[in-house]
Amino acid sequence: MGRRIAFMINNDTVLVLGAGASMDYGFPSGEQLIEDIINYLEGKIQAEPVKKKIFIALILYKYFQKNKIEKTLHDCYRIVEEFISTFKNASPASIDDFLDKNTREEFKIVGKICVVIAISRLENPTADFMTEWRDTKPDHRYSRELHSTRVHLELIRGWYNYLWKKIYEGDIKNNLSKLTFITFNYDRSLERFLYTRLTNLFNLKDDDAIKLFTESVVIHHVYGQLGFFKWQKDCIVINDYKILDFGLLEEKLSPFNSFSVNVPKQFTDNLNPLSSKLTKEENDYLDKILSIAGEIKTYTEAVEQPHPKISKRISNATRIFFLGFGYHKQNLKWLNPNRGEIKATLTGTTYKFGKAQIENIQKILKETFPNLSSEKRGNKYFICENNEYKIQDYFANVLDLE
C-alpha cells in the first residue's frame, strides 16, 4: 500500500456562513425560522400555545423587573399575543428584519426570546452530526433484516464532515489556523462539531482539545449566539448544547392547559400570582434565558465593523467563500465597511437563487468590494451560476478548499 499524501490547506480562507450553512444539520433557513416562531406561539409544537406564551411572558416579566418597569404577568402575556399578531401581519423577510425595524422595545425582547427558544430546540446534545434516522424502503439493503421497525441510520451528507476530512488529513493545527469562520447564525453547531471531532478522533483530553481549539479555531458570530460553552474563553453567558424549553416549569404551567383567553378575569386571577410561586432554580433558569436573549443583536445593535483581528484575516485572505448565504447588503457591508482593498477571490453558493438574483448578487459584491485586486493576480468575483449545488456539491464541482 502506497504512502498516504497529507492534505494541507495552504490558502488563508474565510468562510462566511449564512442560514443555509447549518441546514444540513436540521437548523432552519430564514423563512423556516419565521415558521418555527409562529408555530411555537400559535401551534402545538411541544405543547398547547397558552402554556408556551406564559413561559415567554415569564421571561419578559423578568426583563421588566430588572429594568424597574411595572408590569403584571398578564400584561406580559398580552404583549406576547400582540407580538405574534403584529409579526404575522408585518410579513417580514426574516425575524432579523422585524426586530430591526419595529420600534416597540418589548417586541424586540420577545422576538429575541423566541429566537433563543426556536434555535435551542434544535441544539440536540445527543446529535452526532454524522448519522440520522431514515425510513427504510422495501428495496433498501437493510429491508430484510428489519422486523419491528422500518427505519435505519444513514450517514448525513453534510458539508461539516467534508470540511473535517480536509482539516484532519494533514497538519491539523496548520489547517485549522488557515480557516476563519464568520457566521451570521445564532446556533453553535460548528463549534460543537469541531470540538467533539477533536476529542474523539484524536482521543484528546479536554484540556488538550480546549488548547488546540482556542489557539487555532476562529469562529465569529456577527449577531450573537446562544451563549458560550464552558470551555470557551469568552464565557459571557455559559450555556450547554441543549434544548431550552419550559420543562423545568412543567408542573406550574400544566394547570393553564384548560384556560382560554376568552375568560380574561379568571385567567388573570390565576396567572398573575404565578411569578411569586417560582423556586430559585426556576427563577435562575428564566434569568439565564433572558441573558442569552440579550446576546442576540439586531442589525443596528451589532458592532458596525469587524474586530481588527477579523478585519486582518479578511484583508489577508486568498479566498472568501460565501456558503448558504443570502448576500444581504447589510451583512456584506459589515464585512468591508470602509470598502477597502481585498486580495481574495470572492466565491460562493447560490442554491435556489434565480438567474436575475445571481446577476444582482454580482452587482452588490462589486459595490461592496470596489477595490478588489486586479484579476491578473488571480483575484475575481466567482459566484456560482449553478443554483442546484449545495455546499458540498459546490466544493466538489466549482471550487474546492485547498
Residue owning grid cell 416549569? 249
Residue 8, pLDDT score: 73
378 contacts 345 by C-beta, under 8 angstroms: yes
Domain layout of the chain by residue ranges: 13-26+158-238+303-397, 43-122+243-294, 124-156
Residue 228 gets which letter from DSSP? B
Q: How far apart are CA 169 and CA 179, in angstroms?
A: 15
Residue 2, pLDDT score: 42
**Stronger pLDDT, 276 or 371, i.e. the higher one:** 276
Residue 7, pLDDT score: 61
Confidence check: pLDDT of 396 > 60: yes
3-state helix, strand, coil in the chain (%, to 5): 50, 10, 40
Phi, psi of 183 (to 5 degrees): -115, 140
Percent of the chain with pLDDT over 70: 95
The domain 13-26+158-238+303-397 is classified under which CATH number: 1.20.58, 1.10.3470, 3.40.50, 3.30.70? 3.40.50
Q: How far apart are CA 382 and CA 350, in angstroms?
A: 11
Element (H, E) at 322: strand 319-323
Name the grid cell of 121: 430546540
Q: What is the pLDDT of residues 348-361, one digit of tens each?
A: 999 999 999 999 99
Q: What is the pLDDT of residues 38-67, one digit of tens each?
A: 999 999 888 889 999 999 999 999 999 999
Residue 379, pLDDT score: 52
Please, how many CA atoms are within 13 Å of residue 9, restricted to the half-sphere of its CB? Answer: 25
Residue 37, pLDDT score: 97
Q: What is the pLDDT of residues 300-335, one digit of tens each?
A: 888 878 889 999 999 999 999 999 999 999 999 999
Confidence check: pLDDT of 1 > 60: no
Name the grid cell of 84: 405574534
Name the grid cell of 158: 453534510
Q: What is the pLDDT of residues 78-129, one digit of tens each?
A: 999 999 999 999 999 999 999 999 999 999 999 999 999 999 999 999 999 9
Percent of the chain with pLDDT over 90: 68
